[in-house]
Amino acid sequence: MPAFQLTVNGRRRSVDADPETPLLWILRDNLGLTGTKFGCGIGLCGSCTVHQGDKAVRACQVSLQEAAGTAIVTIEGLAPHGLHPVQRAWIEEDVAQCGYCQPGMIMSATALLADHPHPTDTQIDAVIGEHICRCGSYPRIRKAIHRAAKGGAR
Amino acid sequence: MTSRREFLKIAGSASAGLVLGLRLQGKARPGAPAEPVFHPNAYLAIRPDGSALLTVPKSEMGQGVRTALPMVLAEELDLDWSRVELRQAMPGPEFQHLGTGGSTSVSTTWMILRKAGAAAREMLVAAAAQSWGVAPDQCHTEKGTVFGPGGRKASYGELAEAAAHQPVPKTPRLKAPKAFRILGRPTRRLDGPKIVVGKPLFGLDVRRPGQRFAAVLRCPVVGGTPKAWDASKALAVRGVRAVVQVPTGLAVIAEGTWPAFQGREALAATVRWDEGPNAAFNSQDLENQMRSALQGPADPARKVGAAAPALAAAARVLEAEYAFPFQSHTPMEPMNATAQVRSDGATLWLGTQNPNTAQVRAAAAAGLEPGRMAVHVTLLGGGFGRRSGTDFSTEAAQVAKAAGPGPIQVVWDRTDDIRHDQFHPATLHHLKAGLDGHGRIAAWSHHIAGGAVLRSWLEGQKSPGQAETEANGAWDIPYDIPALDIAFAEVQVPVPLGWWRAIEIVPNVFARECFLDEVAHATGKDPLALRLELLGRRGRVKLGGEEVDIARLRRVLELAAEKAGWGRKLPAGHGLGLACHAYDRRTYMAEVAEVSVKKGQLRVHKVVAAVDCGIVLNPEGLAGQVEGGVAWGVSALFSQITFEKGRTVQENFDTFPVLRSPDMPQVEVHTIASLEAPSGMGEPPVPVCLPAVLNAVFAATGKRLRRLPILSADLA
C-alpha cells in the first residue's frame, strides 16, 4: 500500500497506515504529536481540534486519506518559535485547570480570531460551545480570547 | 477504617518523608542539570545554580496542587519563585500517602511543607552565618539569597553544599502569616506554559520505546464474561498483533490505538457473552427498591433528641421525596494506563489520584512485590474522583503481563469510560419537618436510600461508618433544630460505585437545602431569614462529634446574599435562590443563583459565591475552583446515567450531555479574610450550587423540582 503524504507543522511527512485511520491517531501514534487530544472520538468534544489549511477541524473526523495532500497545523506547530498571542493570553488569564482540553480550545480560538479579529461573546460561544471542558474553564477562555483580540498582555 | 472521615485522616496523617535529615543519593545523568547538593528532606532540593526542585506529594487534576503546595514550600524557604521546578512524588518508603481526594491536599500537607521549608531555610542561614562568623539572627533571607551584616550576601546555590552539613533543626520557626510574600498572592499555574503548547503531560501522552497499544473488549454488563469468540477477525486487522484474555475481558494488542480499536470492533462481532447475574439490572427497579427501603429500617447517621415523637406531636408535618440519579465522572481524558511488566520488575505510567494503592494492586496483578512496581504519576486530564479507582491501572498491569515484556498503553474510549465508570450512586431522599404551633421546626428527619460508595471502596465490606459517610451533608445539618433523625438505608447495587466531585454531599445538600426552602415558603418566611434564624447567633458547636463554627457559616451566607442583592426587584421570569453548607465541617460556602425560566427554558445567569476556607493560599486558584465547582454543579442538574438490561443507556457526550460554554453562568467570588488554618476548595463550591439554582427556579416559577435531572417537560 502506498504511503500518504501530508504536511504537518510545515514538515512533509509520509505515513503508511490504513487510509481510514483518523488523523488524530496518525498524529498521536505515528508522528508522536500527542498535543492533539482524544476526548470522545465522534466529534463532540473538540479536544482533537487542529488546523487543516485555514480551518479548525476535528482530527478524529478527518481520515488519513482526507488529510493527505493538505497542510495540518497542530498545537505543537502553532507558534514554532515562541508563543502565539492566544497561548500567551491563555497563560495570562490562567485558563487551564487540568489542561487536557486546552490545546483543542486554543486551536479553535486561533481559527476564530483569524476570521473575526474582535469576536463578540456570542461568536466565541458559537465556537467554544462545540468544545467541552469538564473543569469549567469557560469564563477564562472567553476572557483569554478577548485579551488576545486586544493584543494586550498584563 | 470506619468511614470516609477516618480514611481521609489516615491519608493525611503526615506523609512519610517528613523525616528531616533524610539524604538521597542521586546518580548524575549525562546532560541533566547539576544534581542537587542540598536535599534536607524528601520535599525539596537545591542545586548549585540556585534552582530549587520541589516535590509535589499530591496528584494534579486541575485543582491546582502543583502550584499551591510549592507556594507553601517556597514561602517558608524564601525561594525565588521563578527558579522553582517541580518533581512529582512517586509511591515508595518516603511517600506512603499520596492519595488525593476529599479536598484535603492543602489541609493535610500545609504544616508538613511549611516545616520542611522552614527547616531548610534555617540550615541555609546557619551555613551563611558560620562562613561569615556572624550570628544566624543577624541574617535574613529573600528570594533565594541570605543577607548578612555589612552588605554580605550569598545565594542558596552557593550555600547549598555547606547547608547540607548543618544540623537539621527539630522545631524550625515558621513565618507569621502577615509576613507571607508568596502565599495569598494570585499566582498562575506553574504548568500553564507547558499545557498551552501541548507538551506530553498526561497519561495518554506516555510514549516508551517499543510501546504497543491495547483496547479491552469488556462485557457491557458488569460481571459478564466472554463465552466464545473468534480472534481471527481481529488479527486480520492491519496493525493488530495479538488478542489476550484478561480478567476484565479480551485485550486487543496493536501497533497503534486505532488498529486496537478496529481490532476490538472486529472481535466484538464474534463474541458471545455470558452476561452473568446483573443482566436484568435497571434503574426503574432500583428506584422501586429504594422507595421500599425508605419504608424499612435504616442505619442511623445521627440522632438528636426524639424526632419520632416530636413529629407525631407536631402541629403540622411537611414531607417530600427528592431523587438524584446515577452520574458519570467523564473526565476529558478517558481512563488509561501504560504498563510494562518484566519478570524482575514493572513500571506504571498513569494519571491517578491513588498512586500507593495503584502500586500495590498492579504489583499483585503482575505477581510482584509492591516495591518492584515503579509508579510514575502524570498530570490527570481530569480526576473528579474517578481516578481514585484502581480498576484501570490493575487492568493495564494484567494486559502487560499477558502480552509480554514491552510497554503497553491500555486506552479506554469514551464509551468504555462511561459504561465502565465507578458511578456516583442514585439516591432517594425522604424528608420530614415537624412544625410547632408557631411554625418553627421542632423535628427534622432525612432518610436516604441508595448504594453505598464506601462499601464499593472497601471491596464489598460494610463498615460501621457507612451511614455517616453516605449521609454526609445530611447529618451535619448546621441548623439549630431540637430533634434530628438522619439515617441511611442501603440498597445493594451491582455496578461499581465511586466518589465523584463533592461525593454524597451533592445529593444530600441538594435535598436538605431545597426542602428547607419548602419549609420557608410553607411558613411564609423568607428563605434567607429562615436560615439566619436557624443558624442563630451561635459560634463553635459540636455536630456529631465534630466542631463547626456557625458564625463563619452565617457570615458567608450574609455576604453572598448581600453581594447578590437578595430581595432586590428582578425582571419578570427571574428568580434568586440560595443555599449554604459547611463542607466536611471545614470549608464554609454559600451561593446565590439568579435564573430565568422563559418558554420552558432554564437559564442560570449568575452565581454569587462566598467562601471562608481559612487562609487563602492562592486566590487565583480559589477563583478557578469556584468557577469549576459551579460548572460541575450546573452540569449535574441536567445529566444522568440510567441502566437498562444491565448496561448504561448512555455511551458518549450525545447521550450524557455536560455543561458547555453558552450555558456557563457568570460566577462572582467573595472571600472572607481569615487567619484560620486553610481547608480545601476543590469540592466545596459544588453542593450548594444545585439547591441554589433549584430554589431560584421555584422563586421564578413556583415550580418545585424535586427530581434530577431537570427534564424539559418539568418547566413547560
CB atoms within 10 A of CB B234: 28
Task: Please state whether beta strands B574-583 and B587-598 pair in parallel, antiparallel, or not at all (unpaired).
Answer: antiparallel
Same domain flag for A69 and A90:
no
Please answer whether residues B320 and B706 qualify as being in contact, where contact means their C-beta atoms are separated by less than 8 angstroms. Answer: yes
Instruction: Look up the domain containing B570 and give its range.
Output: 283-326+423-715
Nearest to B660 by CA among A127, A89, A144: A127
Please answer whether residues B582 and B548 qualify as being in contact, where contact means their C-beta atoms are separated by less than 8 angstroms. Answer: yes
* Mean pLDDT in residue range A135-144: 98
Same domain flag for B345 and B209:
yes
Decide which of B382, B411, B440 is a domain's last residue. B411
Please answer whether residues B471 and B301 qualify as being in contact, where contact means their C-beta atoms are separated by less than 8 angstroms. Answer: yes
Closest CA of chain B from A81, distance in Å: 11
Residue B477 grid cell: 445539618
Q: Name the DSSP letter for residue B136.
A: G
Decide which of A44, A74, A104 is a domain's last residue. A74
Please answer whether residues B302 and B486 qualify as being in contact, where contact means their C-beta atoms are separated by less than 8 angstroms. Answer: yes
Give pLDDT, residue B35. 74
Q: Which amino acid is at B498?
A: G
- Cβ of B196 and A132 within 8 Å? no
- Does residue B417 fall inside a structural domain? no
Same domain flag for A11 and A60:
yes
Decide which of B131, B154, B187 is a domain's last residue. B187
Q: How far apart are CA B687 and CA B657, in angstroms?
A: 19
- Cβ of B627 and A137 within 8 Å? yes
Same domain flag for B438 and B382:
no
Same domain flag for B101 and B213:
no
Q: How far apart are CA B613 and CA B441, in angstroms?
A: 29
Please answer whether residues B608 and B591 qualify as being in contact, where contact means their C-beta atoms are separated by less than 8 angstroms. Answer: yes
Please answer whether residues B578 and B566 qualify as being in contact, where contact means their C-beta atoms are separated by less than 8 angstroms. Answer: yes
* Mean pLDDT in residue range B683-688: 98
Of A33, A44, A129, the CB nearest to B653: A44
- Cβ of B331 and A134 within 8 Å? yes
- Does residue B544 fall inside a structural domain? yes
B contact test, residue of A18, A58, A94, A154 with most B CBs within 10 A: A94
Between positions 275 and 304 of B, the ones with CB within 8 A of A are none
* Mean pLDDT in residue range B102-106: 94
Tell me phi and psi for residue B516, to 5 degrees: -65, -35
Q: How far apart are CA A20 and CA A60, in angstroms?
A: 11
**pLDDT 10s digits, A63-121:** 999 999 999 999 999 998 999 999 999 999 999 999 999 999 999 999 999 999 999 99
Same domain flag for A67 and A99:
no
Residue in B closest to A63 by C-alpha: B258
Same domain flag for B427 and B399:
no
Same domain flag for A45 and A95:
no
Q: How confident is the model at residue A12 (pLDDT cuts 50, 70, 90)?
A: very high
Q: Name the DSSP letter for residue B144.
A: T
Between positions 229 and 248 of B, the ones with CB within 8 A of A are 238-239
Task: Please state whether beta strands B666-671 and B601-612 pair in parallel, antiparallel, or not at all (unpaired).
Answer: parallel
Q: Is B666 in the A-facing interface, judged by CB distances under 8 Å?
A: yes
Q: How far apart are CA B700 and CA A50, in angstroms?
A: 43
Residue in B closest to A42 by C-alpha: B652
For A137-141, B38-42, B393-397, which range has the lowest pLDDT when averaged over its residues? B38-42
Residue with cell 486519506: A65
Give pLDDT, residue B248. 98
- Does residue A36 fall inside a structural domain? yes
> Which residues from B are below 8 Å from A39, CB to CB?
332-334, 414
- Cβ of B207 and A96 within 8 Å? no
**pLDDT 10s digits, B153-166:** 999 999 999 999 99
* Mean pLDDT in residue range B700-710: 98
Please answer whether residues B408 and B347 qualify as being in contact, where contact means their C-beta atoms are separated by less than 8 angstroms. Answer: no
Of A28, A79, A134, the CB nearest to B332: A134
Same domain flag for B287 and B268:
no
A30 contact partners, CB below 8 Å, separation of at least 6:
A15, A17, B256
Give pLDDT, residue B10. 45
CATH of residue B391: 3.30.365.10
Strand ranges inside B436-509, DSSP E: 441-450, 483-490
**pLDDT 10s digits, B526-543:** 999 999 999 999 999 999
Of B257, B383, B664, the CB nearest to A136: B664
- Cβ of A136 and B64 within 8 Å? no
CA distances from B691 to B27, B46, B127, B227, B321 (A): 55, 49, 57, 47, 15
Q: How confident is the model at residue B320 (pLDDT cuts 50, 70, 90)?
A: very high
Element (H, E) at A149: helix A138-150
A137: three-class secondary structure by DSSP: coil
The DSSP code sequence of B603-635 is: EEEEEEEEEE-SS-S-HHHHHHHHHHHHHHHHH
Q: Is B651 in the A-facing interface, judged by CB distances under 8 Å?
A: no
- Cβ of A34 and B62 within 8 Å? no
- Does residue B196 fall inside a structural domain? no
B532 contact partners, CB below 8 Å, separation of at least 6:
B554, B557, B558
Q: Which amino acid is at B449?
A: A
CATH of residue A116: 1.10.150.120
- Does residue B531 fall inside a structural domain? yes
CB atoms within 10 A of CB B604: 23
Q: Is the pLDDT of residue B665 over 50?
A: yes
Cα B264-B270-A20 angle, rounded to 5 deg: 40
- Cβ of B197 and A87 within 8 Å? yes
Same domain flag for A39 and A92:
no
Whole-complex ipTM:
0.98
Q: Is the pLDDT of residue B15 over 50?
A: no
- Does residue B545 fall inside a structural domain? yes
- Does residue B135 fall inside a structural domain? yes
Q: How far apart are CA B329 and CA B422, in angstroms?
A: 8
Q: Name the DSSP letter for residue B187.
A: -
Same domain flag for B113 and B225:
no
Same domain flag for B549 and B684:
yes
Same domain flag for B483 and B530:
yes
Q: How confident is the model at residue B506 (pLDDT cuts 50, 70, 90)?
A: very high
Same domain flag for B222 and B166:
no
- Does residue B510 fall inside a structural domain? yes
* Mean pLDDT in residue range B136-141: 98
* Mean pLDDT in residue range B261-278: 98
Of A25, A100, A124, the CB nearest to B332: A100
Q: Is the pLDDT of residue B682 over 90?
A: yes
Between positions 8 and 27 of A, the ones with CB within 8 A of B are 17-18, 21-22, 25
Give pLDDT, residue A2. 72
Same domain flag for B235 and B114:
no
Please answer whether residues A134 and A102 qualify as being in contact, where contact means their C-beta atoms are separated by less than 8 angstroms. Answer: no
b/e A92-105 (16+ beta carbons within 10 angstroms → b) = bbbbbbbbbbbbbb
- Does residue A14 fall inside a structural domain? yes
Q: How far apart are CA B476 and CA A63, in angstroms?
A: 55
Q: How confident is the model at residue B629 (pLDDT cuts 50, 70, 90)?
A: very high
- Cβ of B195 and A96 within 8 Å? yes
- Does residue A79 fall inside a structural domain? no
Q: Is the pLDDT of residue B591 over 90?
A: yes
Give pLDDT, residue B36. 75
Instruction: Look up the domain containing A14 and give its range.
Output: 4-74
Same domain flag for B110 and B227:
no
**pLDDT 10s digits, B186-219:** 999 999 999 999 999 999 999 999 999 999 999 9
> Which residues from A are below 8 Å from B631, CB to CB?
133-136, 138
Q: How far apart are CA B545 and CA B476, in angstroms?
A: 10
Question: How many Cβ contacts (< 8 angstroms) between chains A and B?
Answer: 189
Q: Is A32 in the B-facing interface, judged by CB distances under 8 Å?
A: yes
Same domain flag for B90 and B149:
yes
Judge if pTM exceeds 0.90: yes
Q: Is A58 in the B-facing interface, judged by CB distances under 8 Å?
A: no
Decide which of A27, A52, A74 is a domain's last residue. A74
> Which residues from A are below 8 Å from B332, CB to CB?
37, 39, 45, 47, 98, 100-101, 132-134
Q: How far apart are CA A113 and CA B429, in angstroms?
A: 49
Domain count, chain B: 3
> Which residues from A are below 8 Å from B384, CB to CB?
134
- Does residue A154 fall inside a structural domain? no
Closest CA of chain B from A42, distance in Å: 9
CATH of residue A60: 3.10.20.30
Give pLDDT, residue B5. 57
What mean pLDDT, rounded, does chain B reach? 94
Residue B680 grid cell: 480545601
Between positions 496 and 525 of B, the ones with CB within 8 A of A are none
**pLDDT 10s digits, B416-457:** 999 999 999 999 999 999 999 999 999 999 999 999 999 999
Residue with cell 490545546: A103
Please answer whether residues B616 and B680 qualify as being in contact, where contact means their C-beta atoms are separated by less than 8 angstroms. Answer: no
The DSSP code sequence of B21-41 is: T------PPTTSPPPPSEEEE
Domain count, chain A: 2
Q: Is A101 in the B-facing interface, judged by CB distances under 8 Å?
A: yes
- Cβ of A134 and B334 within 8 Å? no
Q: Is B199 in the A-facing interface, judged by CB distances under 8 Å?
A: yes
- Cβ of B332 and A83 within 8 Å? no
Calculate the CA B99 to chain-centre distance. Answer: 10
Q: Is A80 in the B-facing interface, judged by CB distances under 8 Å?
A: no
Decide which of A20, A51, A74 is a domain's last residue. A74
Task: Please state whether beta strands B52-56 and B84-88 pair in parallel, antiparallel, or not at all (unpaired).
Answer: parallel
- Does residue B195 fall inside a structural domain? no
Q: How far apart are CA B344 and CA B347, in angstroms?
A: 11
Q: Is the peptide bond before B709 cis (omega within 30 degrees of 0)?
A: yes
Closest CA of chain A from B136, distance in Å: 39
Q: How far apart are CA B57 and CA B42, in angstroms?
A: 10
Give pLDDT, residue B3. 61
The DSSP code sequence of B459-479 is: TTPPPTTHHHHHTTTTTT--S
Q: What percent of chain B has pLDDT over 70?
A: 95
Cα B81-B82-B83 angle, rounded to 5 deg: 90
Q: Is B675 exposed, middle or buried (0-12, 13-18, 19+ CB in 10 A)?
A: exposed
Same domain flag for A90 and A132:
yes
